[in-house]
Amino acid sequence: MPSLDSQNNIETLRRICPTCEACCGLVMEVDRDEQKIISIKGDPDDHRSKGYVCAKSQAFNYIYEDGERLRHPVKKTANGWEAISWDEALDTIAEKFTHIRDQYGKDALSMYVGNPLGHDFAAGIYLQSLMASIGTERFFSAGTVDQHPQQLVCWGLIGHEWLFPVPDLERTELMICMGANPVVSQGSLLGRPNVKDAMKTIRDRGGKCVVIDPRRTETADEADQHIFIKPGTDAYFLMAFAQVLFDEDKIDLAHLADYVDNVDALREAVSQFTPESTAAVTGVSAAVTRQLVADYTATPKASLYGRIGLCTQEFGLASHWMLMVISILNGKLDQEGGMMFATAPTGGSGPGVDGDVKPYGRWHSKVRGVPETCGELPASLMAEEITAPGNEVRGLLTICGNPVLSVPRGDKIREAMDTLDFMVCLDIYINETTSRADIILPSTVHPEHSNVDVTFQNFTTRNYASYSPRTFEPAEGLKDLGEIILDISARMMGLSSEDMDGYVYQGIVDMAIKRANAEGYELTADKINSLVTGDTSPERFVDVMFRSGPYGDFFGHNPDGLSLDKLKNHPQASMDLGSLKQRMPEIVRTPGQRINVMHELFADDLPRLKQRFDELTAEQAKADGQQMLLIGRRHVRDMNSWLHNLKPYVRGKNRCTIKVNPLDAERIGLVEGGTAKVVTHVGEANVPVEVSPEMMEGVVSIPHGFGHIYGDSQQSLAESALPGISCNDLIDESLDVASSTCVVNGVPVQVYAH
């Protein structure tokens, strides 16, 4: 509940930080008369973050105040950008997109969606109606440069592509972290504020933390042990891990024993990948591998977690397959202290399909015939799909995304955008991508609308529900992002926004009634309509979801249960819903609730895995003094390309550097503060050098999200203070073919002194 200092007219509010997945609790002092946020601090009473915040906690206020963010629709004219009315903008968009769809077919339209949508419940729920209105198979998002291997593994093993296991950090005694840097990222598909503190707590109770990564990251600095591994070889290391489990008879399926199939076939599949045979390829010695397996199997409460470094590589699917299978084989999946599943208060686990409907290969890209995964085509194919001869994309819609900087071959994507008949961007900035648009529609930002972090409550390390109130009335004429998406979809369907909104609401009501039938209580649409609360349609949607969810009041049948009003009246922005609990086999959606550890998704990739292993083994005898492997990295003040027009996040020394091991630097002739020339077969760039022993020999790192170099954006600070280079312009369209995921880690590059 807000409190008011009547003497100073300063109001104190609590909300959730909307910048990353940690969703920390904040205390804000605001002056509503002046429409200003006076201060933002961590909420010491928040049960999850306990007063912790990182530098990004201030970002949404800096964005709110940024004079260069758009506050009205604009269109491109011969005289530059000009303001237009919402009706003109929306009518033009609906007319042109409908014309393109009707004349050239649905796939003459394309969409790209970026990560910020995850922090906007209303936009996420209305997006489904927009996708149905447009109907294109040429749908792209940041997901194919992110988590698609994890989605497919979860679908293949448990039948739900959005139900991710997370490490039970509250109770684990051994945390193994691969290809992730949660101390800096604040956790990714691992919802836990202040992971650094969590690691300390693990050690304080006698546990251990291990990080496996080609770079000694900030997370590795907090761990008990860091193990270097060659980029792109995680699958082989994990297969050797599994091979030891079989060889030493450490298989214990625990409470899943009656549900797991094809364990013997898995034993055969990993049999050749011993710690000794994989050591030269991975860079991890057999002794280190065997000791880690011994530690893992001897620790009843042990968690094995991996993230983007494992996803965005040549064998991303195989890596996450083995990661989850190891937890199954040693009884650590769905067990306290191991890898567990959150129970989201909305009752779902994100969008998805039941386990008997394959979320892959239902259609293919037009140029190369690459199969879709999880409803998307690889974002790195955008340029070739847009310009496909005889099958061109003529209309493009981007939502909160900047693929020119965040996707491999972003430079080619930007060039391809110039061939479009019509391009629309839903964004608050004119940036490297939106500068190519014909119309840009800006939305409110977080202080100007309420929000419930529905997405991130699906993969938290402790169950919770949260609500963030609208702080200020938006500037005149601004619309919420969800409202904009709803308006476009309604116009394209020939409906009013009210009617389209009603259809969305009816779908949620039908879902609630279906849940009530499953739970054994009576519920009707009339009863829901008479009891539902909320200041906006999206708030009413989430109220229905909360009340029919696992903690809900069941519309009066469970009076002590959760509702949106109860959450709004809670003294903090976040309500504690308890520790993670066992959920299997009940959550398994596969036919017969069978967990097939050799699902065709995984088994079909084995020949490619084995062939590449033989090639890598042979390559160990070859030496090229200039060739290195490129990986990305994060910084606590970066969030992809979002924050580079904000002074507090670009000041200080240049972060867009190439980090290189001292021995490699000496061999190549690189010096601290000098310049390296980085070359691939698709591009080259000159990058400032940072010599650091944190890098594994043979590996270099350039951060993602930079490259503000084009001159036609209206982000003056991003262009002047820290433009950097886009490492994605050095990366080709290579894919983990088993998951259609872009390969951005373990990319071969040539490095020279410049």
Do the two domains 148-341+586-603 and 623-753 of this chain adopt the same fold? no
Q: Select from 3.40.50.620, 3.40.228.10, 3.90.480.10, 3.40.190.290 the CATH code of 148-341+586-603.
A: 3.40.228.10
- pLDDT at residue number 217: 97
Structure confidence at residue 118 as a pLDDT band (50, 70, 90): confident
Residues 695/214, Cβ–Cβ less than 8 Å: yes
pLDDT at 470: 95
Q: What are the angstrom distances between the C-alpha of 604 and each of 318, 457, 464, 600?
A: 10, 33, 39, 5
Say whether the peptide bond before residue 585 is cis (omega within 30 degrees of 0).
Answer: yes
Q: What is the bridge-based pairing of β-strands 595-596 and 260-261?
A: parallel
Distance CA 430, CA 447 (A): 21
User: pLDDT tier at 350 (50, 70, 90 boundaries)?
Assistant: very low
Residue 682: exposure state from Cβ atoms within 10 A (0-12, 13-18, ≥19): middle
What lies within 8 Å, CB to CB, of 5 at 6+ separation is 11, 12
pLDDT digit string, tens, across residues 486-511: 999 999 999 999 999 999 999 999 99
Nearest-angstrom CA–CA distance, 512 and 682: 51
127: closest CA among 396, 372, 457, 399? 399
Q: Is the pLDDT score of 606 beyond 70?
A: yes
| CA-to-CA dists, residue 257 to 156, 323, 496, 600, angstroms | 18, 18, 53, 21
The mean predicted confidence, pLDDT, of the chain is: 95
Please state, as a whole number, how many other Cβ atoms lie within 10 Å of the Cβ of residue 250.
Answer: 17
| Predicted local confidence at residue 722, as pLDDT | 87
In the numeric block, the tokens 């209580």 are attached to 521
Per-residue pLDDT at 639 exceeds 90: no
Which of 655, 687, 654, 681 lies closest to 668, judged by CA? Answer: 687
354 falls in which pLDDT band (50, 70, 90)?
Answer: low
Tens of pLDDT, residues 167-182 = 999 999 999 999 999 9
User: Which has the higher per-residue pLDDT, 393 or 637?
Assistant: 393
Single-letter code of the amino acid located at 414: R
Where residue 640 falls among pLDDT bands split at 50, 70, 90? confident
Q: What is the pLDDT of residue 351?
A: 46
Predicted pLDDT of residue 357: 81
Res 355 pLDDT > 90: no
pLDDT in tens, 215-252: 999 999 999 999 999 999 999 999 999 999 999 999 99
Give which of 532, 545, 426 is closest to 486, Cα–Cα.
Answer: 426
Report the distance separating Cα 483 and Cα 537, nearest Å: 10
The fold adopted by the segment(s) 623-753 is Barwin-like endoglucanases (2.40.40)
- Domain range list for the chain: 148-341+586-603, 623-753
The beta strands (E) that lie in 450-609 are given as: 463-466, 574-578, 595-596
pLDDT grade, residue 621 (50/70/90)?
A: low
User: Is 492 within 8 Å of 98 (Cβ atoms)?
Assistant: yes
Mean pLDDT calculated for residue range 633-647: 89
* Strands 74-77 vs 80-83: parallel, antiparallel or unpaired: antiparallel
Distance in angstroms (rounded) separating the CA atoms of residues 205 and 67: 49
The whole-number pLDDT of residue 404 equals 97
**Residues 608, 612, 618: CA angle, nearest 5 degrees:** 155
Q: What is the pTM of this model?
A: 0.96
Paired with 214 in beta bridges are none
pLDDT of 178:
98
